[in-house]
C-alpha cells in the first residue's frame, strides 16, 4: 500500500523540528487544493502518513513548511522579513503503490530535501 510521509530536521539546533506546522496541497490544473494541515510531533514527523492507500493518487502535490514561525517559536532572532518564511516543495506521485517520503533539513538560512525512504 502506498503512502506519503515527511520528516523535518532542524539543522541549526541539531534536532527534530517538533512543533513545525505543515500544509499539504494537491495541485489540480495548477491550482492548489488544501488537503491537510498538521503540526509535527516531537520527532519532527506526522503522527500518521499524510496520504495512504486509495487517498494517494497519481499527480502533483505541494508541502508547505512554516519554517520562520518554527524558529521564532524556538526564540531564534530573525530579521523582518525572515530570509526563509514558508518553504514550499512541489513533487509528483507517479506510483501510488510506492512509499514517498519527503524529508526537509532546515535552518533559518537554508534548506535541502530529497526523496527519502
| pLDDT average, residue stretch 28-38 | 94
Architecture of domain 3-113: Sandwich (2.60)
pLDDT above 90: residue 16: yes
Name the binding residues. Answer: 7, 45, 114
Q: Starting from the edge strand earliest in sequence, which strands make up the sheet with 31-39, in order?
A: 31-39, 21-28, 59-66, 86-93
Amino acid 45: pLDDT:
98
pLDDT at 1 over 90: no
- What's the Rg (C-alpha) of the chain? 14
3-state secondary structure 47-112: CCCCEEHHHCCCEEEEEEEEHHHHHHHCCCCCCCCCCCCEEEEEEEECCCCCEEEEEEEECCCCEE
Q: Using the structure block, give the residue that is written with the C-alpha cell 541549526.
A: 12
Which residue ranges make up the annotated binding site for substrate? Answer: 7, 45, 114
Amino acid at each position: 500500500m502506498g503512502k506519503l510521509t515527511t520528516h523535518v530536521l532542524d539543522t541549526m539546533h541539531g534536532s527534530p523540528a517538533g512543533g513545525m506546522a505543515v500544509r499539504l496541497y494537491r495541485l489540480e490544473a495548477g491550482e492548489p487544493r488544501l488537503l491537510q494541515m498538521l503540526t509535527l510531533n516531537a520527532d519532527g514527523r506526522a503522527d500518521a502518513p499524510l496520504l495512504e492507500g486509495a487517498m494517494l493518487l497519481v499527480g502533483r502535490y505541494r508541502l508547505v513548511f512554516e519554517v520562520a514561525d518554527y524558529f521564532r517559536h524556538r526564540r531564534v532572532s530573525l530579521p523582518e522579513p525572515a530570509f526563509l518564511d514558508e518553504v514550499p516543495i512541489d513533487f509528483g506521485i507517479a506510483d501510488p503503490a510506492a512509499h514517498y517520503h519527503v524529508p526537509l533539513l532546515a535552518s533559518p538560512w537554508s534548506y535541502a530535501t530529497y526523496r527519502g525512504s
